[in-house]
Amino acid sequence: MQKNKRIGVFDSGIGGLSLLKAGYWQLPNEAWLYVADEAYLPYGDKTTEKVRERAKMITEFFIKCDVKAIVIACNTATATAIDFLRETYRETIFIGVEPAVKPAAKLTKTKVIGILATDATTESLRLNKLVQTFGEGIKVLVQPCPGLVESIENGNHHEAKTHKLIKMYVEPMLSQGVDVLALGCTHYSFVKKAIRDIVGDSVTLIDTSKPVIDELKYRLSRQKLLSNEKNSKIEFWTTNSIKNDSSKFETFWGNPIKVGYLNI
Ligand code: DGL
């Protein structure tokens, strides 16, 4: 049965777990396959060609596993590869994640919004188009955050460094009057509290996990592909050494899990 097939989710690392968590809670009947392309993290400093090549390899793994849909739980891979993937694999349903320019533009009162993202996302045509389309009459500050993804991946050991980086990237935006800040990288969901501590309560933070899962639900239901049998199994894979990644995955997932090595 098509409905009982799994949903593939991927990111360069643990960032996409923030989206998977939302999926796990919002769609309790679905089973999932998660791939972290840790051997190629970060995607943010890679060329478009490289990110596309990695996205293609992971997509082919998912297709072999016969998934019913693929969630690109990475703003960088969405920005650089989703059009290419949709053109190449026409039968496959792809759901991507993009910085929330439109919702931020609707919410702002100061008419200054901020987008935090990776280098590759900030340079992408897709983000520039979003800003052009929805940012009329609004000052959109697009801030690349090199080093932040790697620091978040290093977890608690790098808490002070992570804090310092966030401060460095966010403070200039605050002084320009930003009142809405969109998290344009799925890794940043894991440091929402640190960002909140720096920006204070008057700035709205937008995380796109829930709307992405809403969109996935809508697409699956439109095609009569939503599972109606309880099955919330998840398989976790990494392209890096399992020895290094297993405990990290557990920390970010929040429960004991088994992680497999994916040699692609
Ligand atoms: N979580 C990815 C994103 O949303 C991080 C990309 C990276 O590895 O630099 O963009």
Residues 100-134 have pLDDT tens digits of 999 999 999 999 999 999 999 999 999 999 999 99
Tell me which DSSP letter residue 140 carries.
E
Residue of 82, 185, 203, 213 with catalytic role: 185
Residues contacting 38, CB < 8 A, separation 6+: 12, 13, 238, 239, 240, 244, 245
CB 212 within 8 A of CB 26: no
Give me the mean pLDDT over the 31-53 stretch: 97
Q: Which of 51, 149, 189 is the best mutation target for the ligand 1 pocket, counting ligand atoms within 8 Å of the beta carbon and taking the most?
A: 149
Is 74 among the residues known to form the active site?
yes
| % residues pLDDT > 70 (the chain) | 99
DSSP codes of every residue in 39-81: GG--STTS-HHHHHHHHHHHHHHHHHTT-SEEEE--HHHHHHH
Is the pLDDT at 13 greater than 70, yes or no? yes
Cβ contact 13:238 at 8 Å: no
Residue 231 has pLDDT above 90, yes or no: no
Which residue's CA is the nearest one to ligand 1's atom 2? Answer: 74
- What pLDDT shows up at residue 157? 65
Burial of 103 (0-12, 13-18, 19+ CB in 10 A): middle
Mean pLDDT of 214-242: 92
Q: What is the pLDDT of residues 133-147, one digit of tens each?
A: 999 999 999 999 999
Residue 184 Cβ contacting ligand 1 at under 6 Å = no
**Is residue 228 over pLDDT 90?**
no
Sign of the alpha-carbon dihedral angle for 89, 92, 93, 97: negative
- In short, whether 114's Cβ falls inside 6 Å of ligand 1 is no
Tell me the CB-side half-sphere exposure of residue 195, using CA atoms within 13 A: 25
Q: Is the CB of 185 under 6 A from ligand 1?
A: yes
Kindly tell me if the per-residue pLDDT of 156 is higher than 80: no
Extract the tokens encoding 152. Answer: 């978040």
* Terminal CA-CA length for the chain: 28
**Residue 212: which pLDDT band, with cuts at 50, 70 and 90?**
very high
Most informative mutation of 11, 40, 153 for ligand 1 (most atoms within 8 A of CB): 11
* 1 CA from centroid of ligand 1 (Å): 33
Segment 44-53 shows an average pLDDT of: 97
pLDDT tens digits along 16-35: 999 999 999 999 999 999 99
Q: Is 187 in the pocket of ligand 1 (CB under 6 A)?
A: yes
Ligand 1 proximity of 75 Cβ (cutoff 6 Å): yes
Extents of the domains making up the chain: 2-97+209-261, 101-206
Average pLDDT score over residue span 67-95 = 97
Q: Is 15's C-beta closer than 6 angstroms to any atom of ligand 1? A: yes
- Give the Å distance between the CA of 184 and the centre of ligand 1: 9
> How far apart, in whole angstroms, are the C-alpha atoms of residue 210 and residue 217?
10
Average pLDDT, the chain: 95
Reply yes or no on whether the pLDDT at 223 is more than 70. Answer: yes
Catalytic site residue from 36, 58, 74, 182: 74
**Band of the pLDDT at 47, cuts 50, 70, 90?**
very high
**DSSP structural state of residue 170:** H
Q: Which CATH number fits domain 101-206: 3.40.50.1860, 3.40.50.10880, 3.30.1490.190, 3.40.50.720?
A: 3.40.50.1860
Name the residue type at position 57. Answer: M
Q: Domain 2-97+209-261, CATH 3.40.50.1860 — does that match?
A: yes
41 lines ligand 1 (CB under 6 A): yes
**Eight-class DSSP state of 95:** E
101-206: same fold as 2-97+209-261? yes
Per the model's pLDDT, the better-predicted residue between 242 and 211 turns out to be 211
